[in-house]
Structure 1
Amino acid sequence: MTDGTTDLQALAAEAYIYGYPMVRNLDEVDHVSRKGMGSVAPAPFNEFSHGSKPASPDGPAAPTADANNDVIYSVAQLDLSGGALLLTVPDTGGRYYVLQFVDAWTNNFAYVGRRATGTGAASYLLTPPGWDEEVPPGATRIAAPTEMATIVGRWACAGPDDAAAVRALQEDTHLEPYWTATGELRGLPTHTYIPDEEPETLFYEKLRARMAAFPPAPADGTYQKRFAPLGLLDAESPYARPEPELAEALRAGFAAGKEQVEQEATRGDGAQRQNGWQRTYHAFDYNADHFEVGTLKDPQWICADRELGRMLRATSAHTALWGRHGYEAAHAMAWDDADGRPLEGEHSYTLRFEKPPPVDAFWSVTMYGLPERNLVDNPVDRYSIGDRTPGLSYDDDGSLTLRLQAQRPADDKTAANWLPTPEGRFRPVLRMYTPRAAVFDGTYELPPIQRS
C-alpha cells in the first residue's frame, strides 16, 4: 500500500465523521416523510404530522433516541426551496411544549415554545437561505441555514386522559406557504445510482450530492475543500466506476470512520459522570454558527473547538438524532449503581432525591431495558415517574425515594413510588425540562442509585 493510498484512506475516514450527521439525518427525513415515526404518520414536506399518544413499548418514538413517554410528538419536514412558510402556534395556557428546528447538518438553530418564546399564540415566518423580502406584521422571522430542515415538536402530556387536550393544540398548529412562495419544491437532491451491495460508495455519493445542495457555514465550507481528492467536490459523480485506489480508500475510510464514531459514542466523557450517572448536557453544543429564535449564543453552549465539535455532531447523530440542547432539556442516564455494579432486574434499588431536580417545567425518570433500549412493559403501564406522577409519597423531610425493581412492592406507600424494571439489565434516564442553572454549575448533584 502506498503512502498516497494511506493518506486517502485517512481522508475518507475524516470525511465520514464530517458527513455522517447530514447523510444520516436526511436519510431519516426521507424515511419519516414516507414511513412515519411511531404514532406520527407519514406526511408530505411542509405539513405537520401529529402523534396521538406518548411513547409505549409498542414502538419507537424518535430516530435512534430513547422513546420519550413524557410528551406527544409532532413532526414536519421542511423544504423551503419553494419559498417561505408561515407557522402559527396556539396559546397553550402555560402547558410545556417546544418546537425544535434542525437544519440539514443537524444544527438546532431555533426553538419555539414555553422556555424560548412563552406559551401565547404567535406567528413565525420560516425563510430559506438568501431570502430578502418583507416579514409580515406580527410575525417573527426564523432564517433556516439550509433549504431543508425539520421541526420536532414535543407537547407535555400527563397520560392518556390528557391526550385529547394535546390533540386540540396540535390541530391549532399550522404551517402554510407564504403568499410569495412558488410551491415548486426541489426535494432531496438526487444522486448517481450505486448498487445496494456497495454501501460505502453510496455513502460518499450521497454526501457529495448533499454537500452541494446544502452548503454549511463558511468556516466548514473552507474545511470541506480538503476532501477534493476524494471527489466530494466534483460536479459529476466519480463513484459509479471509481478508480481502484479510490474505491479501496473509500471502503477502508468508511469502516475506520464508522468505528471511530461508535467507539466515541460508547466511551463517553468521564468528566460528565456523577454518582453513576452519565450527564449528556452538552451533547448538542456543536452548532457554533446559526442562532435564531430561542437559541442561546453563549460560550457555555458552544463548542469552540471545531474538530471536537465535528465528532460531537457525529456521535450525537448516531445515538440521539434530533436531540435538544441541554438548556431546553437536560438528560442523564445510568448503567451502574452507586458501587459501580451493573443495574439488573434481579435486584431492588432506591433512588432518593433529597431535593427535587431544579427545573422550571418538570422532570421525570424513564425506564429502559437493555440492550434494545426499549420502554419496559409492565402490569401497571408505568414507563416513567416524576413530579407529575399522581399519588407520589414524600418523606417527612420533603425528600422523595423512588423504588426501582421488577416486582411490585408489598406496601402501598412504596408502590406509589415504584418504577418497574425488566428482569434483566436496564438503564434509567433522568430528564429535566427547562433546567435551572444549578443543574449545570454543580450546585445540584444527581443522587446515586443504591442497591437495597
Structure 2
Amino acid sequence: MTGQLSELASEAYVFGFPLVFNGEQILRLTTSGIGTLPSASFNSFSHARALASPRDTFVSINNDTVYSIAPVDLSVGPVLLSVPEAGDRYYVLQFVDAWTNNFAYVGTRATGNRRGDFLLVPPEWEGGPEAEGVTVIRFPTRIAVIVGRWACDGEEDLPAVEELQNSLTLTPIRKSLTPPQGVPVVAGGLSEALDFFERLRVWALAFPPAERDRAALDSYGELGLTSAYTVAEAPAEVREALEVGYAAGKQALQMAVRSGDGPYVNNWLVNLHMFDYNLDFFEVGTLDDPAWKHADPKTRYATRAAAALAGLWGNHGYEAAYFFTYLDAAGDALTGEHTYALRLHPTPPVGAFWSITMYDLPNFYLVENQAARYSIGDRTRGIVYDDDGGLTITMSATRPADEKAAANWLPAPQGEFRPILRLYAPKQELVDGTYEVPAIERVV
C-alpha cells in the first residue's frame, strides 16, 4: 500500500509542481522582488530598469528585453490595464494563470503597438458597464502574472523603454479599502517535501485548475491533498509516501527537462510546443488551434512541469520560439573546458529578432564573465559577419585571441552549460522545420 501511495505522490508532485513553483515566484515578487525587479504589490507593475544580469537569479531569464511584471489579484474585482503607443518597438504582455497556462497576449504580434485599454476580469465575472469600449480578458484563476517584455537595444535605449514602462498602468475599477487577498500563507517548517505538498493542497483549493484537470487533482485525495486538514495531520503512512514520492517526482522531472518533449534537430531540442499544455483558456492574442495544443493526457502534465522548471513564464511558440541544447555535434556535453563554434548561414528567419543566451547548469542562470555579455544575436553591436553573409559565434570560457572570434564571442562557464536560441515572432520556415539550426561544433 505504501508503494502505491508513493507512486501516487510522485504523480502528484509532477501535477502540482507548476502551481507551487509559480506561487513561490509570485510571493517572491510581491515580497522581496526578483533580481533587479523590485517587489510589487498586487495589481501594480515591477519594472526592471536594466537588462538582466547574473544578479537576476531566475530560471532561463532573458537578456534581450527589459521586463515589466505584474502580479494580478482580481479578488478586488475587474482591473483596467492601459498600454501606451509603442511605435515600432517589439513588446509583449503575456498573461499566465496560477497553473502557468498562457491565456492571453497583448502586444506587437497580438494586438499591435497602438495605445489600448483592456479590462481584466475574474473567473466568475458576469458582465457589466465597465466593459463598454474595451477588450475584456477573463482570468482562469483569481491570481495571474502579466509578464511584459520590451525589446531594448542596449544601455542607451533604456530611457526610452523606461518611458513606455511608466505609461503602463493597472487600475482597479471598484474602489475599496479591502486589500487583495493574495496568495494564501502556508506556514511551512516541516520537511521540504511536506512543505511542498502543503502548498499544493492550500493553493489548489484557492486556485482550482481547469475542469478537465480536476479529476487528476481529486485522484490525490488519498494523500490528503484535497482535504481541509493539513499535511502535518495526515497519517504517518501518508507522510512517508509523500516524502518518497517527492524525491522520485523531483528526479523524474529533472530528467524530463534534460530529455525534453520535442524533436531534436542537430542536437537542438526544437521546443516550439513546450508551452502548449493550455487546452481551455483562449483570450485575446492566443491561438485556439489544434496545432498549438498538447492534447496527450499521458504526457501533458509532465510537459507542463518541465516547462515551469526550465523556463517559467515562457511564451507559446508562435510568440517566441525556444531552442535548447546541451550537446555538441558529436553528442558530447557542452562544457567550458572546450571551445565551440556555431555557424548560422543564413541567420534565423524571424519577424522581430533572435538571440542566443548562455546559461549555467543546473540552475539555468546567466553566466558571469569578463565581457559582461550574456547573449548574442542580430541586434548585438560590433558582431562581424562572414564574407558570405553568415555568422559564426564562438562559445568558450576564455576570450578568443582572434579578434573576429572575440567580436562574436558568447562567454561560457567553466563547467557544463546550456544555450537557448530565442526567436521572437518566428517565421513559417522555423515553425514548419524548413529552416534548421546547425549543430554546435567543437573547435578545441
Do Structure 1 and Structure 2 share a fold, with TM-score over 0.5? yes
User: What pairs up with 1:211-360 in 2 under 5 angstroms?
Assistant: 211-234=204-227, 236-269=228-261, 272-360=263-351
Letter aligned with residue 274 of structure 1: V
CA distance in 2, matches of 1:421, 1:250: 38
Residue 143 (structure 1) aligned with residue 138 (structure 2)? yes
CA distance in 2, matches of 1:405, 1:12: 42
CA distance in 2, matches of 1:429, 1:167: 26
C-alpha RMSD of matched pairs (Å): 2.1
Structure 2 counterpart SS, 1:102:
strand
Give me the TM-score of the superposition, normalised by structure 2: 0.93
Cα deviation code 1:231-279 (max 9, x no counterpart): 2222x3153332222222222222222222222222324x521112222
CA distance in 2, matches of 1:432, 1:342: 23
CA distance in 1, matches of 2:412, 2:4: 49
Report if the CA contact (8 A) 1:288-1:303 is conserved: yes
Q: Could you say which residue in structure 2 is the equivalent of 1:206?
A: 199
User: Structure 2 residue aligned with 1:170, among 165, 171, 175?
Assistant: 165
User: What pairs up with 1:9-28 in 2 under 5 angstroms?
Assistant: 9-28=6-25
Q: Could you say which residue in structure 2 is the equivalent of 1:189?
A: 184
Report if the CA contact (8 A) 2:92-2:106 is conserved: yes
Report if the CA contact (8 A) 2:36-2:55 is conserved: no
Cα deviation code 1:377-429 (max 9, x no counterpart): 33433222111122333233322222333444445444332333344433322
Mark the CA change 1:345 to 1:173 in structure 2 (over 3 Å): closer, same or farther.
same
Q: Could you say which residue in structure 1 is the equivalent of 2:37?
A: 40
Paired-residue identity, %: 48
CA distance in 1, matches of 2:296, 2:157: 44
Listed as ranges, the gaps of 5+ residues in structure 2 are: none
User: What pairs up with 1:146-161 in 2 under 5 angstroms?
Assistant: 146-161=141-156
Once the two structures are overlaid, the 10-residue window that deviates more, 178-187 or 74-83, is: 178-187
Mark the CA change 1:423 to 1:254 in structure 2 (over 3 Å): closer, same or farther.
closer
Shift of 1:209: 1.9
Residue 130 (structure 1) aligned with residue 101 (structure 2)? no
Cα deviation code 1:193-213 (max 9, x no counterpart): 55x233333322222222221
Structure 2 counterpart SS, 1:19:
helix
Shift of 1:370: 4.0
User: Structure 2 residue aligned with 1:8, among 5, 8, 11?
Assistant: 5
Q: Could you say which residue in structure 1 is the equivalent of 2:81?
A: 87
User: What pairs up with 1:95-114 in 2 under 5 angstroms?
Assistant: 95-114=89-108
Shift of 1:346: 4.3
User: Structure 1 residue aligned with 2:65, among 62, 71, 75?
Assistant: 71
Give me the TM-score of the superposition, normalised by structure 1: 0.92
CA distance in 2, matches of 1:219, 1:11: 19
Shift of 1:291: 0.7
Once the two structures are overlaid, the 10-residue window that deviates more, 280-289 or 420-429, is: 420-429
Mark the CA change 1:88 to 1:248 in structure 2 (over 3 Å): closer, same or farther.
same
Shift of 1:123: 0.6
Structure 2 counterpart SS, 1:375:
coil
CA distance in 2, matches of 1:370, 1:187: 33
Report if the CA contact (8 A) 2:328-2:334 is conserved: yes
Letter aligned with residue 421 of structure 2: L
Letter aligned with residue 17 of structure 2: Y
Mark the CA change 1:374 to 1:238 in structure 2 (over 3 Å): closer, same or farther.
closer
Mark the CA change 1:19 to 1:415 in structure 2 (over 3 Å): closer, same or farther.
closer
CA distance in 2, matches of 1:238, 1:343: 44
CA distance in 2, matches of 1:211, 1:296: 27
Letter aligned with residue 131 of structure 1: W
Once the two structures are overlaid, the 10-residue window that deviates more, 65-74 or 83-92, is: 65-74
Shift of 1:443: 0.3
CA distance in 1, matches of 2:12, 2:397: 45
Structure 2 counterpart SS, 1:265:
helix
CA distance in 2, matches of 1:248, 1:406: 44
Mark the CA change 1:203 to 1:423 in structure 2 (over 3 Å): closer, same or farther.
closer
